Amino acid sequence: MPIKNGAEYVESLRGRKLKVYLFGQLVKEPVDHPMIRPSINAVAATYDLANAEPEMAGAKSSISGLQVNRFLHIAESAEDLVNQNKMQRRLGQLTGTCFQRCVGMDALNSLYSTTYEIDQKHNTKYHSRLKEFIKMIQRENYVIGGAMTDVKGDRSLSPSQQPDPDMFVHIVKRDKKGVYITGAKAHQTGCINSHWILVMPTMRLKGEDKDYAIVGAVPVDAPGITYIYGRQSCDTRSMEEGDIDAGNSKFGGQEAMIIFDNVFIPNELIFMDGEYDYAAMLVERFTCYHRRSYVCKTGLGDVLIGAAAAIADYNGVASASHIKDKLVEMTHLNETIFGAGIASSYMAHQTASGNWQCDDMLANVCKHNVTKFPYEISRLAQDIAGGLMVTLPSEKDFRGPETGPLLEKYLKGRKGVSTESRVRMLRLIENMTLGRNAVGYLTESMHGAGSPQAQRIQIARQMQLEYKKKLAKNLASVKEGETAEISQENSEYFNKIFGVRKKGKQQ
């Protein structure tokens, strides 16, 4: 039976007997662990939003013919991509954290077009296999995780040059039924909360790296997989009594390391096997989708801006001009991120396979903004909140018979606001800028989908400087060499720009 809502999703994760380690101990049931459960709740919200707002968070799939969760949908128009962004921002607003499904959505879409083009060149059957897999996951309404980031070892060496070949996931043996892979993937968002994992290469590959050019789907509970749960700042607060000190006690993100030890992938779930020349295409298309997907951080930004405005009100300084100006700047930065991301979706183009790919330049500009602006938004939120955000006593002290009345008296703000409300808002700001969900808002903003230099490389490749120099020379009446004459008609002018953008190269 397909999963219908968040509650059913949570139950679908029970009893899988995953090999999950946390604090050096095997976790008996991840669903019930207090450090893991907030991240599960965040994924559950993606199911409930699809029911509450089906036009934004759901879509009619031409592959299965079903109304499906948008996280499982292959984009069939630019509007589909725009709705992805609207859904991502809304989920950020609802959870205040990473809801962990964007990697899977972006992996499916990038694989859809890449497998089609591999088949066209090599006469393989990857695309039809992928479509059958998509039909199955849409029918069952599963969560798909994407595993791209290898541990890499010595970064100056290619995969095949590593002293230890397991630094990149690779094929170790094969038989008539499929292949076996070994290696590890780091920083894997929501992997334990998924039903299936798409394993992909992490970089451009060469002929000698053929064994690393493997893409396939594996169940999360497949034999041979070990998960080691990642620490996050202040994460053990979720294991304490009470809910105030956690800041956001209901929702959280999840990152873990996945270790593959001779994990089997059957032939019908293999979507690339040795076609090393298409690894770069897959990675670049994935990062294009995923860097644009970082508009999710604007939903978190909305929450943080709201928290900063609320604490200013609780402190009695909401009308101060400098507070208003800081809130304006926070909003300006947040909307700048969203503007670039959603523009990338609006400027999408159709691929040979029929699905739609967002604009690469604007996707990279979006993500590059994300590596900077959330840090400034957080700094301003901390500025408005004041030092009490990081010196507050514990919830137990507020509940204590001796200390509670003292704290209630001396930590109240303006009249009409309870001390507890003020403390809760301060804890939320701490949670998002320093605590557990700072991973989803800050560190992930820096390194997720590639660190800042990765975006700068892609932006440099698509600057179209030669074309832009021709524009300038034309207006300056500079005639040198074979400078092409440029029409002044707006229609031709814009057609040239958009044509260059879609080809992704200079003209």
Check which CATH number belongs to the domain holding 349 and give it. Answer: 1.20.140.10
Say if residue 338 is in the same domain as residue 444.
Answer: yes
Q: By three-state DSSP, how is residue 407 classified?
A: helix
Say if residue 344 is in the same domain as residue 375.
Answer: yes
Tell me if 480 is assigned to some domain: yes
Tell me if 216 is assigned to some domain: no
pLDDT digits (tens, 9 = 90+) for 37-61: 999 999 999 999 999 999 999 999 9
Say if residue 342 is in the same domain as residue 388.
Answer: yes
Say if residue 364 is in the same domain as residue 472.
Answer: no
Cβ–Cβ under 8 Å, residues 417 and 426: no
Cβ–Cβ under 8 Å, residues 195 and 142: yes
Say if residue 439 is in the same domain as residue 477.
Answer: no
Strand partners, 376: none
Say if residue 432 is in the same domain as residue 305.
Answer: yes
Strand partners, 123: none
Phi–psi pair at 185, nearest 5 degrees: -120, 130
Tell me if 218 is assigned to some domain: no
Q: By three-state DSSP, how is residue 301 classified?
A: helix
Tell me if 490 is assigned to some domain: yes
| Per-residue confidence (pLDDT) for residue 71, from 0 to 100 | 98
Q: Which residue is it, tokens 């009490």?
A: 388
Say if residue 428 is in the same domain as residue 300.
Answer: yes
CA-CA distance, 189 to 194, in Å (whole number)?
Answer: 9
| Per-residue confidence (pLDDT) for residue 432, from 0 to 100 | 98
Alpha helices in 147-273 (DSSP H): none
Which residues, given as ranges, of the chain have pLDDT below 70? Answer: 481-507
Active site residues: 98, 102, 189, 255, 290, 294, 296, 444
Beta strands in 392-438 (DSSP E): none
Tell me if 364 is assigned to some domain: yes
From the CA atom positions of the chain, what is the Rg in Å?
A: 24
**Residue 243 burial (CB count, 10 A):** 15
Per the structure, the count of domains in the chain is: 2
Say if residue 480 is in the same domain as residue 427.
Answer: no
| Per-residue confidence (pLDDT) for residue 27, from 0 to 100 | 98
Say if residue 441 is in the same domain as residue 303.
Answer: yes
Range of 450's domain? 293-459
407-444 exposure pattern, b = at least 16 Cβ within 10 A, e = fewer: beeebbbeeebebeebbbbbbbbbbbbbbbbbbbbbeb
Say if residue 418 is in the same domain as residue 477.
Answer: no
Say if residue 468 is in the same domain as residue 383.
Answer: no
CA-CA distance, 128 to 135, in Å (whole number)?
Answer: 11
| Per-residue confidence (pLDDT) for residue 344, from 0 to 100 | 98
Say if residue 495 is in the same domain as residue 402.
Answer: no
Alpha helices in 152-210 (DSSP H): none
Tell me if 378 is assigned to some domain: yes
Q: By three-state DSSP, how is residue 185 classified?
A: strand
Cβ–Cβ under 8 Å, residues 253 and 187: no
